[in-house]
Structure 1
Amino acid sequence: MQRHLLFATTLYALPVLRPLAESIRASGGEAAWFVASSLSPYMRPSERVLRNAGEVKAFAPAAVYSASNWVPHFFPGIKVQVFHGFNVEKRDSTRGHFRIRGLFDLYCTQGPATTEPFQKLAAELGHFKVVETGWPKLDPMFCGDSVTEPDVHPHDGRVVCMYAATFTESLSSAPALFQEISKQVESGKRYWLLTLHPKSDPELVRMYRSLEGPNARYLEAVDLVSMMRAADVLVSDTSSAVSEFIVQGKPVVTFRNRAPRAHMINIRTSDQLEEALQTAMDPPPALVSEIETYAYSIHPSRDGRSSERILAAADALASGQMGALAPKPLNIWRKLKGRLRYLGWTEESLGD
């Protein structure tokens, strides 16, 4: 039986990795988790959580799957990057999505828009492989009604609007849109599903939670896929939720997006929100075409089997089918920071 370790540092990593855990079990493998201490309350009774590096070493995973930008280099097994979101151009490419940190052996990309840049980097550096698999977080998106999920529908036929904002202070729409969304919720014209990034200012979270009632519900990041499936339109900013949502072929209203594209309905002021929502509910053909083109460029898979492809790719690399990798850079400072971060989560010894 092959063993696999799922590594999560933030709340939004759980919905990325849980479909992968289900595929591991379905294939006859064994899955365990290593998570930041802050995530312990969100782990399910059925999920085996390893508490320290000693337990990870004893578990001896063949592969470690990370939805974070880093992974402990001292854990056994090949290191697989499955990403915590899409590339939404929050930063320059040298600091953002395509930054190579020298920690991973395999990058499992979401679609052509990310596969091609990573393949170029792999050819140049040689110490990792790239396979386009699709993104495990979206597997439940395409699994139909068989997926077990919380019921977030209003049950009265109203249009459902989802609101999600990035936590990056300079890009977040949460402060600027609060009053307008409050008015929208109060009117009751549409039903709202609200969420903020787990790293958001607690005061902003409190404000948006206060809108809960007959016309709105606030949910945590672990319920993002359920919210996206239920919503007719997303209101956001420069959040990766924009790309996650749009793969369904549904419209997105963005507020001052850092790199606005033709598949978005981008607004500059809060008083433009109502008109933008009306456009989203009756999108012109050109917008529909742009949405579909963009969706297929970032995530063409629609079969809900990305997790299976990730496991197959990891197995191929671990068994030598992809050939040898070049030595990784030493990265002494990054490895030291990783060990210090680990020590912040556990009092146990690091081991070897």
Structure 2
Amino acid sequence: MTTIAAKEPQPRATRFLLYAEQNYAYGILRPLQAAIRARGGEARWFFAGPEVDPEHLEPGEVKLGDVAAVRAWRPEVVLVPGNMVPSFIPGLKVAVFHGFNVAKAGRSDDRGHFNIRGCFDLYCTHGPGDTQGFARRAAEHGHFRVVETGWPALDPLFRPEMPAGREPDLPARDGRPRILLCSTFTPRLSCAPHLLETVRRLRDTGRWQWLIQFHPKMDPAVVEAYRSLEDDSLSFIETRNILPLLRTSDVMVCDTSSVMLMFLLQHKPVVTFRNQSRGDRSHLLDVTRPEALEGAIEEALSQPAELMGRIGALAGELHPYTDGRSSERVLDAADACLRQGRAGLKAKPRNGLRNLKERRKLGYWKPG
């Protein structure tokens, strides 16, 4: 009789640093923190700058106060929803991104999303669209790996039981279609000022339930103008946790904000106002005049087959994962990279100037 030896369990990392430079990092890194804890690992937060508000930390979340504390803790993996992490932070550097690649007019693909700054050992990509771009750059530069995992920030979108921060207080559904209006704060791109009177008129018809949610940096005058519209048909929602709003709404009205991509991934239609994205926009219902908004929303609510097919194709390219387990895939990819080490890779760039700037920003001047 032949005995088959049981496979030895592969070693897993146990200490993960959650590296935050902006408040949006909370929503991206918390699903990863939940997955780390589920595996029996430890997560610590590090705030790389004053823009992160520690008041958003929740009970049980632990912050390391400075670089010396980080180095003493010796993280095995550093999870970064941004473009930069200095070499004097120990651990495998993993880029998990702060959002999707929105190709805006006047911007080349080599800016922003696809910039290679020589900081990372591993890029965990969202879907085939950005995997292909980073794979080409991996072949060109030779000093990092690329694994397609999906985006951890979306895990709670597809698994509502996952914690994603404080739940916003939403009005009860009453049978009417629910329209979510989101807008960027950038004046030249924002739809909010242009649509105010149209939204007021559509609210007055009582046909739909409106939810309004803006970027925290939105012009306060615009915020107050929309607040003044609140009634039984329109609610202004202040929250950093937009996922419940995405789940509960039937149609989104937006401009060029990347949040519309998160909505589309649910296979729900988006109406945009003067969208400035480059390339194919056939998955959007774009209008250029406020008076065209009502008809576009009606069309979106009807979910025409051709439009829904284009939305499905986009979702398959952008983020095909709907199981809510992208965080687990990121951790698996990090473990695999730790086991491989730097075998087959070139040395990362020294990044002397960037690291000097980071030392100045973080107040760390010791060797290492």
Normalising by the residue count of structure 2, what TM-score does the alignment of the two structures yield?
0.87
- Higher-Rg member (1/2): 2
Residue 33 (structure 1) aligned with residue 33 (structure 2):
no
CA deviation digits over 1:249-304, x for unaligned, max 9? 00001111123511100111222111111111102210011111111111111111
| 5+ long unaligned stretches in structure 2 | 1-12
C-alpha RMSD of matched pairs (Å):
2.2
User: Matched residue of 1:97: which SS?
Assistant: helix
Equivalent residue, structure 2, for 1:346: none
* Runs of 4+ more than 6 Å apart: none
**Counterpart amino acid of residue 31 in structure 1:** A
1:52–1:350 CA contact under 8 A, matched in 2:
no
Deviation at 1:176, TM superposition (A): 2.0
Equivalent residue, structure 1, for 2:144: 128
1:12–1:221 CA contact under 8 A, matched in 2:
no
**Counterpart amino acid of residue 154 in structure 1:** A
Deviation at 1:75, TM superposition (A): 1.1
Equivalent residue, structure 1, for 2:8: none
Q: Tell me the distance in 1 between the aligned counterparts of 2:195 and 2:174.
A: 26
Equivalent residue, structure 2, for 1:64: 78
CA deviation digits over 1:55-74, x for unaligned, max 9? 11122111111112222332
> Which range moved further: 68-77 or 273-282?
68-77
Change (3 A) 1:168 1:70: farther
Q: Tell me the distance in 2 between the aligned counterparts of 1:18 and 1:11.
A: 12
User: Matched residue of 1:257: which SS?
Assistant: coil
> Among residues 249, 254, 276, which one is paired with 1:231 in the alignment?
249
> Which range moved further: 144-153 or 290-299?
144-153
Equivalent residue, structure 1, for 2:61: 47
CA deviation digits over 1:223-259, x for unaligned, max 9? 1111101111111111111111111000001111123
User: Matched residue of 1:193: which SS?
Assistant: strand
**Counterpart amino acid of residue 263 in structure 2:** F
**Counterpart amino acid of residue 140 in structure 1:** P
Q: Tell me the distance in 1 between the aligned counterparts of 2:58 and 2:39.
A: 20
Equivalent residue, structure 2, for 1:19: 31
CA deviation digits over 1:300-330, x for unaligned, max 9? 1111110000001011112226734322223
Change (3 A) 1:88 1:9: same
Identity rate, percent: 45
User: Matched residue of 2:235: which SS?
Assistant: strand
**Counterpart amino acid of residue 128 in structure 1:** F
Residue 244 (structure 1) aligned with residue 258 (structure 2):
no
1:54–1:350 CA contact under 8 A, matched in 2:
no
Alignment of 1:190-339 (within 5 A): 190-220=208-238, 222-258=240-276, 259=278, 261-320=281-340, 323-339=343-359
1:185–1:216 CA contact under 8 A, matched in 2:
yes
> Among residues 87, 112, 122, which one is paired with 1:96 in the alignment?
112
CA deviation digits over 1:71-102, x for unaligned, max 9? 23321111111111111102311212111122
Equivalent residue, structure 1, for 2:129: 113
Equivalent residue, structure 2, for 1:78: 92
CA deviation digits over 1:157-176, x for unaligned, max 9? 22111122223333222222
> Which range moved further: 66-75 or 289-298?
66-75
Q: Tell me the distance in 1 between the aligned counterparts of 2:56 and 2:298.
A: 37
Deviation at 1:145, TM superposition (A): 5.5
Q: Tell me the distance in 2 between the aligned counterparts of 1:44 and 1:56.
A: 20
